[in-house]
Chain A
């Protein structure tokens, strides 16, 4: 299990990284933490001709609070996000989700942006971003653009990113008011990929009615799924068993997961309804307790 040969470049500025990316086109690949890329290279499922190592682009390693937005640089290690007090306070959902990623030892190296561009449909960072809303900043040699998270994921392991582009940072809006969040997942073993994961963030008015909610499910479709219909019918409601049952019915017919070695389609669909109820109830209870 050794990777195929490749050329290696280690730029020290974002500009030079983008030029290298531009020159190498389809043959080049960015390496950051390498926690997903190196395993697939070791198994020769991927054999890029050229690797561009962005681990020395320190400008892309940051967590900032700016105008009610959390900004996270693509190179920020997952363990740093996990330990960040700022993120815990302003985006608790993310703090809750990150410890589910792999293990301490892989989070020490794995990066925030790396998880997004890898775009595994059951991965935690894409899913929590879907639930909190937000956007990613993408740069190429000649231009830069911002893409809403809803438009970023295209299909399995595929995003809107072109081969000559680099994801540079992520913007997450800070929700104000009586906020509750919850992230839950079921996996066979601790640290394994989730069979199904669910993330939700909601906001209550002063009568405990839901004023805004975003529920997203992972592992049930080719991309993290924002369940729009649920988000619409819950607006203006209080959580009750009846409402949760109704939501579970919607989720049941909205998802069509694939069967694989680890779980059947039926079992995944069942998990999706159970986790939906759990995350909504937990987020609701948490929001109610916050004044």
Chain B
């Protein structure tokens, strides 16, 4: 039951820590690394608020043990801003009323970031399907969808 030494990368920074095997990745990120942007809602994989990107895939951090993340690369919401400025997706969430209380937001931002990197031109249906893995009790999802779609449009413009 001892403590395991883990070495992982969070938002580009290397972290070396001792963790108990039962420590959830979500708790490690928040309490061990002080990155409280990652939220914890249900702790059984239903709400999506704890979603982070692990080795290039959006996953629930409450369904992984920190010890399992040894050697892996983690991205959290703190990694989305650039030099203290909101990233493009974050800006659009702000502009399109994509959040109200903000509890669900970090998870959705990470899911959307991962999804857009793999599907640069998603249909509305695909985006809704992706969002179905997240519970938002405030917005009704409409603003969230708009914010993501606005980002898709902007990305297209920068490419062309």
Contact = CB atoms under 8 A, between A and B. Distances in A.
Interface residues of A, number: 31
A105 B44 contact: no
Contacts of A4: 22
Interface in A185-219: 190-191
Interface residues of B, number: 30
Interface stretch (B83-91, B96-104, B126-134, B151-159): B126-134
Contact of B48 (A2, A35, A99, A105): A105
A30 B48 CA distance: 24
A215 to B, nearest CB: 27
Interface stretch (B10-18, B54-62, B73-81, B142-150): B54-62
Interface in A1-39: 1-8, 10, 31, 34-35, 38-39
Contact of A5 (B1, B54, B68): B1
Contacts of A5: 1, 20-22
A288 to B, nearest CB: 27
Given A35-B45, A191-B133, A104 B111 contact: yes
B17 to A, nearest CB: 15
Highest count of chain B CB atoms <10 Å: which of A6, A106, A190: A106
A8 B1 CA distance: 7
A42 interface: yes
Nearest to A34: B63
Given A39-B44, A108-B57, A191 B64 contact: no
A172 interface: no
A83 to B, nearest CB: 9
B125 to A, nearest CB: 11
B44 A8 contact: no
A280 interface: no
Most chain A Cβ neighbours within 10 Å, of B54, B58, B60, B130:
B60
Contacts of A108: 57-59
A55 interface: yes
A106 B62 contact: no
Contacts of B1: 5-7
A105 B132 CA distance: 10
Given A7-B21, A108-B58, A38 B45 contact: yes
A8 B64 contact: no
In the complex, the 7 A-B pairs of residues with the closest C-beta atoms, listed nearest first: A103-B133, A8-B21, A39-B44, A108-B57, A38-B63, A1-B43, A109-B59
25 contacts: A3-B22, A3-B24, A5-B22, A8-B4, A8-B21, A8-B65, A8-B67, A35-B45, A35-B60, A38-B45, A38-B63, A38-B64, A39-B45, A42-B24, A42-B62, A55-B68, A77-B57, A99-B129, A103-B48, A103-B132, A105-B111, A105-B133, A106-B133, A190-B129, A190-B132
Interface of A: 1-8, 10, 31, 34-35, 38-39, 42-43, 51, 53, 55, 77, 79, 99, 102-106, 108-109, 190-191
